[in-house]
């Protein structure tokens, strides 16, 4: 069964550094998402991406964050200057075709980001 | 904006007990409702979903959920739990279009004792 993959599984970085989290969504999917889960808290939506542009973003997704689909397979989340409070598990998700039909979102295994 | 409440943060049951996990949502329009499960060390997996039609939906591994529109609820049930059901369970919603980001509840940590 096709899966969403994410790399790395664990990233440790120093405060102020830039990080890029990578995701490979399921190949025929068209909508891509990033979520985060701070330890002990709920999963929170960050951003959705469709047709090479952001379609929706939450209040969390400020100017420090950006997303990109640099090629036909990868979907990346960049944090420009990490803060301690960015430490969290980051999940990528993707879902199938739109056109009014609703599909489930498939989640990747997550990248644990630790900012020191 | 929508929100999701899960009433039980930790639930401990014995094997073969019946399970019901509560989920209430707040949103004025049409919503899609989901239950996701996260087994220890694994990623989020969809248990079941409701978009329209029969409000009683059946999912994988013997789980089911009932959408009660008047109560804004989507409770998860299983008649007889197994030790392998030990996991974190998340209720989630998104608005009617279907491709929007999900709003999750805080999750319920379910422990099944053998």
Residue among A29, A36, A42, A60 with most chain B CBs within 10 A, to mutate? A42
* Contact partners, residue A75, CB within 8 Å, separation at least 6: A22, A23, A24, A25, A32, A49, A67, A68, A69, A92, A94
Structure tokens at A107: 């989640």
Residues of A in contact with B46 (CB under 8 A): 104-106
**pLDDT, tens digit, for every residue of B38-94?**
998 888 999 999 988 899 999 999 999 999 999 999 999 999 999 999 999 999 998
Question: Would the CB atoms of A35 and B107 count as touching at under 8 Å?
Answer: no
For chain A, what's the residue count?
Answer: 116
Those residues whose C-beta lies under 8 Å from the C-beta of residue A37, and which sit 6 or more positions away, are A43, A44, A88, A89, A91, A110
Per-residue pLDDT, averaged over A75-93, amounts to: 97
What would the two tokens of residue A114 be? 């630790």
Question: Are residues B99 and A55, on separate chains, in Cβ contact within 8 Å?
Answer: yes
Which residues of chain B have a CB within 8 Å of the CB of A48?
A: 99-101
* Residue of chain B minimizing CA distance to A102: B98
CA-based nearest distance B45→chain A, Å: 7
Most A CBs within 10 A among B99, B102, B103, hence the mutation to make, goes to B99
d(CA B114, CA B103): 33
Tens-place pLDDT, residues A26-69:
988 889 999 999 998 899 999 999 989 999 999 999 999 999 99
- Nearest chain A Cα distance for residue B58, angstroms: 15
């Amino acid at each position: 069964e096709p899966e969403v993959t994410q790399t790395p599984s664990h990233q440790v970085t120093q405060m102020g550094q830039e990080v890029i989290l990578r995701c490979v969504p399921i190949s025929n999917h068209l909508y891509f998402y990033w979520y985060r889960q701070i330890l002990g808290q709920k999963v929170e939506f960050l951003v959705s991406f469709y047709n090479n542009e952001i379609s929706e973003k939450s209040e969390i997704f400020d100017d420090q964050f950006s997303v990109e689909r640099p090629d036909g397979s990868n979907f990346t989340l960049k944090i420009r200057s990490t803060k301690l409070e960015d430490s969290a598990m980051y999940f990528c998700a993707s879902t199938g075709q739109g056109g009014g039909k609703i599909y489930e979102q498939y989640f990747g295994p997550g990248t644990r980001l630790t900012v020191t | 904006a929508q929100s999701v409440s899960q009433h039980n943060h930790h639930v401990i049951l014995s094997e073969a007990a019946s399970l019901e996990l509560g989920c209430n949502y707040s949103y004025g329009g049409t919503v899609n409702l989901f239950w996701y499960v996260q087994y220890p060390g694994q990623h989020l997996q969809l248990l079941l979903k409701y978009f329209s039609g029969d409000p009683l939906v059946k999912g994988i591994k013997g789980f089911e959920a009932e959408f009660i529109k008047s109560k804004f609820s989507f409770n998860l049930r299983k008649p007889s739990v197994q030790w392998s059901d030990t996991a974190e369970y998340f209720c989630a919603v998104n608005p009617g279009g279907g491709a929007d980001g999900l709003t999750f509840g805080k999750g319920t940590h379910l422990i099944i004792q053998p």
